[in-house]
Structure 1
Amino acid sequence: MKTLFNYALLFLLFACFHITVQAADIYVAPTGSDTNPGTKDKPMATVAMALRKAREMRRLKDPAVENGIHIIVGDGVYTFSEPLFIRPEDSGTPGSPTIIEAAPGARPVFSGGMSVKGWRKASGKMPGLPAAAQGKVWVADAPVEAGRLLDFRQLYINDQKATRARDRNADSMNRILSWNHQTEQCWIPAPKTPGWDKVAGLEMVIHQWWAIAILRIKSVTVKGDSALLGFHQPESRIQSEHPWPAPWISQKTGNSAFFLTNAIQFLDEPGEWYLDVKQQQIVYWPRNNEDLRSVQVTVPYLQNIARVEGTIDNPVAHVFFKGIDFKYTTWLRPSQAGHVPLQAGMYLLDAYKLKIPGTPDKRGLENQGWIGRQPAAVELQYVRNTGFERCNFSHMAATGLDYIRGTQYDTIIGCTFRDIGGTAIQAGVFSDPAFETHLPYDPADARELCRKLTISNCFITNCANEDWGCVGISAGYVQGINIEHNELSDLPYSGICVGWGWTKTINAMRNNRVHANLVHHYAKHMYDVGGLYTLSAQPGSVISENYVHTILKAPYAHDPNHFFYMYLDEGSAYITLKDNYCEEEKFMKNSNGPGNTWDNNGPKVADSIKNRAGLEDAYKAIKNIK
């Protein structure tokens, strides 16, 4: 009887032990120290060192990690000096994931920005500054890193983006007079502001159908009320040689619109700023509610805040982010090499029109292009079973979150994207710099692809506000992507875009799903748009039960009637479109391939379908997050 009692006691103790086994918790707080053990009472100071501790626990097979590792991040701002890098050695397992998460009730910020302090009201007359701004601007020493002036293209005052000084304010733009493709020069109406033509670093932003270009101005010749502009290389040649989208000349719809930027002579209203490289200072005219002695002023410093990167044979797996705010990234290529995109922000590295048309995939093709990809605040490649849940992305100069290649079974759920300069969420290979962008992509090793990614219940607004040709969600050569129950609004161009390549040829894309999304208030600046947009053959793909409404009236559209709720562009094939609600049956089917099925799309779709689109009830509150 005693033996039986002892066995029962041992069993009870063993059961209790297993019930109380918990995942390893590593705490991080701004007031912590990386020499601390990472307990709740003695937290570490940086996520990078907490991640190293977790890595060592796994390497040494610490039994505490049996049910996973939680890196619990306390409230506050964590300013990164380099991107957080997550390697294959940081991988978890299905039963023991690595989770980087906010502490209960906390909103930790992972920042790629840098504070600017020491603001003072400018004294005396400032050379070049318009009369309206004299005596009203404040200045601060520009950040210097390792003896070099920090370059940046964005400035944030209390999390509100300021406007880089430009010659036309608000949504006002001028029109080019002509473009000479042989000399690579452009005539414009000359601004009336004195001295603008002598400024170093001047830029031109030009509107071209479905994309903008950012061109660094090399020379200005003023003749009467007009000015002849020349541009730096490489963008000068690419801008004048590539056929689409190109500068537009039309008496009927107006020439391409443009504005000039980055000159102190244009700083003529509150909310505008200028980086004076010679004086190494920032000049800013505060808005009425801003006191530069007390506000938080931030400039972006890093291009990437986090990178999750494995190899094709050793991917990063079972790593998740929960409740993290990612803020402030920069992107300097426009300042260093200009920016001439082909579409969706993919910038041209080389492009020209073939004198004799024809490529291996398309007999009549005359457009050749090789592209690069904008950086993202968070980039992932060669990963599987990773995810982001209720994270927030804001104040990005380029892309927000990008699953680049070699990914599978990943999730983006309940996240918000606000004030993103480029595309909010991007996924899949588009074209590598060595691969001509109109050729069908179908790698021999399918592990190169982005497969089985779910993007669900995300709120995307005020994105692509720097590069107007970018979109809300952009997917390239993807397989089995599931984009469902997201809400997208306040976009300058299109909403959800899936596909790349402009080809009817069967390629890597297939079995993609775009379901029950709400897309509205788009086409704010560009036309030739679609709330839902596809390219190329995608067998087995379905676009269903989405709600698309309110196309905005872009004031400088080259063809103001060329807007659509659903847009199947070149090569789109083998796609089913069913039960999608929109205000009218305004659809584009441009050079489509075979096998597309249209079934019950337009204003007659049942209200029940319209009402189910967008964020589900459990996620509707994320719209209120600021």
Structure 2
Amino acid sequence: MVKFFEFLLFVLTILFDNYDEVKTFYVSTNGLDSNSGTKNSPFATIRRAQSAVKSLNGFHNVKVYLLEGHYFIDSTIVFRHDDGGKEGKIIEYIAFNGGKVVVSGGKLLPKIWNKPFPTSNLWKLDLSYMGQTTESIRQLFANNKRLKRAASKDLYTKGPLTKFTKRFSRFDFSSIDSMRRTDIEAFCGFAYKGSDLDSFYFDDDTEIIVYHSWECSWHKVLRLDNINKCIYFTSPSRYPVGFFSDNNRYRIENNSKVFDEPGEWYYNSKKKELWYLAHEGENPNEEDFYVPILNQIISIAGNSYSKKYVENLTFKGIEFKHSSYSLGINDLNEKVKYKLVKENPWLKFSDGYASAQTAPDCGQAISISYAENCKFEDCKFSNLGSYAVNIGKGSNDIILSKCVIQDVGGGGVLIGFNEKDPVMKNVPWSNSPYKNIIKNCKIYNGGKVHPSSVAIAIMQANSNLVTHNTIYNFPYSGISIGWTWTKSANFTKDNKVTYNQIYNVMEDLADGGGIYTLGKQPGCIIKGNHIHNIVRSESAIGALNCGIFFDQSSSMMTVDDNKIDLINGPKYRFNKTDSLKINWKAKE
């Protein structure tokens, strides 16, 4: 009898262990967070559903259905270890019945535009009610489109600031590195042509973007010297004007003097007034205008110290929209910046943006770190200010499948993190993202704020797969693999980039390609990609653009069966690397 009960207990244990009731919750823009979360009594917010999921302790498969609607969030939604599934259980956030579900990091502006001048199409919106959230409005969207901020035509520099014309040599990188520490002013302005800037008044809201060779920098104006025809910035670029060429392209934005075309907007932060120059017959009170507020919409963040990863999260059919971006980014280390500001009190690193190619520091709308087995399927990412997704440190088995990424200020997906020599700096190997997959995605119309961004970047990451994606309309490279310029060991290895279609990239900048590589990459496979229509802008400065560019120390990779055509430059290019160290074969 005892053995019979032991057997019965064993059978019941198996039955209960395999009994997998799927828990469901519903969220609706018409719901209440005090509701029970059923279909007939839905929650109002994703955070309330997140709390309900957490109460189940991760030991159930859960489906959170988001009913059709526009979900505005006022702070980043953070998913931690206890928000995911345990022991193989999956937590899913799903657009119910394929309805249009938007999770927005922005605000819908009130329809209280007025016309100060009855005979003009100029409209004004008072945003003083929004408080601090209006301190730095740099993007505006309506009708699912990015609206053009007031901007000048493309202008071109005359050369470096006059007192630095003989202080550095073109393409002498070693001299530039030392000048950053001794003559930072050389990086903070340029000489302009003729009377291009003579009549401008530069206030705190004006921003200037300068196009270098393979990257761009944003600046605010310190002062204008009309006598010597020089403009000075409050923050430095990575390279001084004149290093690549005297004739750098630049553009002035958010200045009242260049606010002159229908469809443009201008923001005055002191008065908190948003101005819009409407098209003939257009009434902005009949449209929905959105201002991004949050830099990040979703953060999936595990804990590396406690080894508590976020596991088994899935998002299906959701559109993530309206993220902002920050200035105050410069890749000089903090000690150097502190010393420079002490020696040059006029410097304001908080004002500008100057970072390396690929713009790895520009931010991301979706941040993933120390997570595994998470998925975004049939999702859309649009109207964003930075990269759409960063699969960062310690993340593995993250999948983006059948997603669309478009109209982004930065790039599409960045797998990895910005560290050029992780082995030398004793970065733990476990930080390297691995076994992540980007497949069957469409990524286009990127680099709207940071033109050096790329559609997909892999840096210090291993064993990832990028396959069957369509990539087009980027100012710089399509796919970038590797992040170590020397021959030293690094974390980028065993990645596969296969059967992607890449075209109409390199639209603004130079010295890149459809696919771009750096450093030793044992086990890397680049195969079956179709790269075509690689262009070169008339204003681009620096080296040629190409199909596949093997840049410094690129080696130990296999490149085969790629089709490259309609290229305004060489199909393949090798720079400071030995082609014999790459097992490559061109497809005719």
Question: Do the two structures share a fold, i.e. TM-score over 0.5?
Answer: yes
In structure 1, which of residues 326, 338, 341 is the aligned counterpart of residue 352 of structure 2? 338
Cα distance change on mapping 1:148 and 1:396 into 2, 3 Å = closer
What is aligned with 2:443?
460
| Deviation for aligned residue 1:598 | 4.0
Alpha-carbon distance in structure 1 between the residues aligned to 2:293 and 2:309: 28
1:383 has 2:371 as partner: yes
Is this contact kept in 1: 2:213–2:540, CA < 8 A?
A: yes
What is aligned with 2:502?
519
In structure 1, which of residues 300, 304, 314 is the aligned counterpart of residue 308 of structure 2? 314
Note the residue ranges of structure 2 that are not aligned, 5 or more in a row: 1-10, 165-182, 330-349
1:269 has 2:261 as partner: yes
**SS of equivalent to 2:356:** strand
Alpha-carbon distance in structure 2 between the residues aligned to 1:198 and 1:210: 27
Alpha-carbon distance in structure 2 between the residues aligned to 1:401 and 1:121: 38
Cα distance change on mapping 1:438 and 1:227 into 2, 3 Å = farther
What is aligned with 1:547?
530
Q: What does residue range 169-188 of structure 1 map to in structure 2 within 5 Å?
A: 172-180=154-162, 181=164, 182=183, 183-184=185-186, 185-188=189-192
| Deviation for aligned residue 1:174 | 2.8
What is aligned with 2:144?
159
Cα distance change on mapping 1:79 and 1:271 into 2, 3 Å = same
1:96-153 alpha-carbon deviations (Å, 9 max, x no partner): 211111111212100001112244343249xxxxxxxx82211101254456644210
| Deviation for aligned residue 1:197 | 2.5
| Deviation for aligned residue 1:593 | 5.6
Alpha-carbon distance in structure 2 between the residues aligned to 1:479 and 1:193: 48
| Deviation for aligned residue 1:278 | 2.8
Q: Under a length normalisation based on structure 2, what TM-score does the superposition of the two structures give?
A: 0.85
1:425 has 2:424 as partner: no
In structure 2, which of residues 539, 544, 552 is the aligned counterpart of residue 570 of structure 1? 552
Alpha-carbon distance in structure 1 between the residues aligned to 2:277 and 2:155: 21
**SS of equivalent to 2:49:** helix
1:189-240 alpha-carbon deviations (Å, 9 max, x no partner): 36668852253332221110001111111111223xx7321111xx23xx2x
What is aligned with 1:49?
48
Q: What does residue range 479-498 of structure 1 map to in structure 2 within 5 Å?
A: 479-498=462-481
Cα distance change on mapping 1:591 and 1:517 into 2, 3 Å = same
What is aligned with 1:359?
none
Letter in 2 for 1:323: G
1:120 has 2:105 as partner: no
What is aligned with 2:180?
none
Alpha-carbon distance in structure 1 between the residues aligned to 2:262 and 2:392: 39
Alpha-carbon distance in structure 1 between the residues aligned to 2:464 and 2:141: 35
| Deviation for aligned residue 1:254 | 6.0
Is this contact kept in 2: 1:394–1:417, CA < 8 A?
A: yes
| Deviation for aligned residue 1:429 | 1.9
Letter in 2 for 1:72: Y
Alpha-carbon distance in structure 2 between the residues aligned to 1:56 and 1:269: 54
In structure 2, which of residues 82, 86, 97 is the aligned counterpart of residue 104 of structure 1? 97
**SS of equivalent to 2:47:** helix
**SS of equivalent to 1:49:** helix
Alpha-carbon distance in structure 1 between the residues aligned to 2:408 and 2:322: 9
What is aligned with 1:286?
278
Alpha-carbon distance in structure 1 between the residues aligned to 2:108 and 2:195: 34
What is aligned with 1:349?
none
| Deviation for aligned residue 1:321 | 0.9
Q: What does residue range 304-453 of structure 1 map to in structure 2 within 5 Å?
A: 304-312=296-304, 313-333=307-327, 336-346=350-360, 373-431=361-419, 437=420, 443=426, 445-453=428-436
Alpha-carbon distance in structure 1 between the residues aligned to 2:147 and 2:354: 24
Alpha-carbon distance in structure 2 between the residues aligned to 1:511 and 1:552: 30
Is this contact kept in 2: 1:413–1:456, CA < 8 A?
A: yes
What is aligned with 1:501?
484
What is aligned with 2:581?
596
**SS of equivalent to 2:32:** coil
Note the residue ranges of structure 1 that are not aligned, 5 or more in a row: 1-10, 126-133, 347-372, 432-436, 605-626
Is this contact kept in 2: 1:94–1:318, CA < 8 A?
A: no
1:486-543 alpha-carbon deviations (Å, 9 max, x no partner): 0000111100001102021122221111000000011111111110111111111110
Is this contact kept in 2: 1:256–1:558, CA < 8 A?
A: yes
**SS of equivalent to 1:77:** strand
Letter in 2 for 1:213: S
Alpha-carbon distance in structure 2 between the residues aligned to 1:195 and 1:120: 30
Alpha-carbon distance in structure 1 between the residues aligned to 2:533 and 2:113: 44
Is this contact kept in 1: 2:323–2:386, CA < 8 A?
A: yes
1:285-306 alpha-carbon deviations (Å, 9 max, x no partner): 1234742121001110000001
**Count of residues in Structure 1 that have an aligned counterpart in Structure 2:** 530
| Deviation for aligned residue 1:264 | 1.0
Alpha-carbon distance in structure 2 between the residues aligned to 1:267 and 1:326: 30
Cα distance change on mapping 1:445 and 1:192 into 2, 3 Å = closer
What is aligned with 1:227?
229
What is aligned with 1:586?
571
Question: CA RMSD for the aligned pairs?
Answer: 2.6
Letter in 2 for 1:301: I
Is this contact kept in 2: 1:91–1:316, CA < 8 A?
A: yes
What is aligned with 1:368?
none
Alpha-carbon distance in structure 2 between the residues aligned to 1:143 and 1:317: 42
Alpha-carbon distance in structure 2 between the residues aligned to 1:294 and 1:196: 34
What is aligned with 2:241?
247
Q: Which moved more, 1:144-153 or 1:502-511?
A: 144-153
Alpha-carbon distance in structure 2 between the residues aligned to 1:285 and 1:334: 29
Q: Which moved more, 1:158-167 or 1:566-575?
A: 158-167
What is aligned with 1:81?
74
Cα distance change on mapping 1:192 and 1:537 into 2, 3 Å = closer
Alpha-carbon distance in structure 1 between the residues aligned to 2:411 and 2:437: 17
Is this contact kept in 1: 2:368–2:392, CA < 8 A?
A: yes
Is this contact kept in 2: 1:497–1:533, CA < 8 A?
A: yes
Q: Under a length normalisation based on structure 1, what TM-score does the superposition of the two structures give?
A: 0.80
In structure 2, which of residues 118, 121, 128 is the aligned counterpart of residue 136 of structure 1? 121
Is this contact kept in 2: 1:473–1:496, CA < 8 A?
A: yes
Alpha-carbon distance in structure 2 between the residues aligned to 1:567 and 1:331: 30
Is this contact kept in 1: 2:381–2:406, CA < 8 A?
A: yes
Cα distance change on mapping 1:213 and 1:294 into 2, 3 Å = same
Alpha-carbon distance in structure 1 between the residues aligned to 2:440 and 2:492: 23
Cα distance change on mapping 1:596 and 1:249 into 2, 3 Å = closer
Cα distance change on mapping 1:160 and 1:600 into 2, 3 Å = same
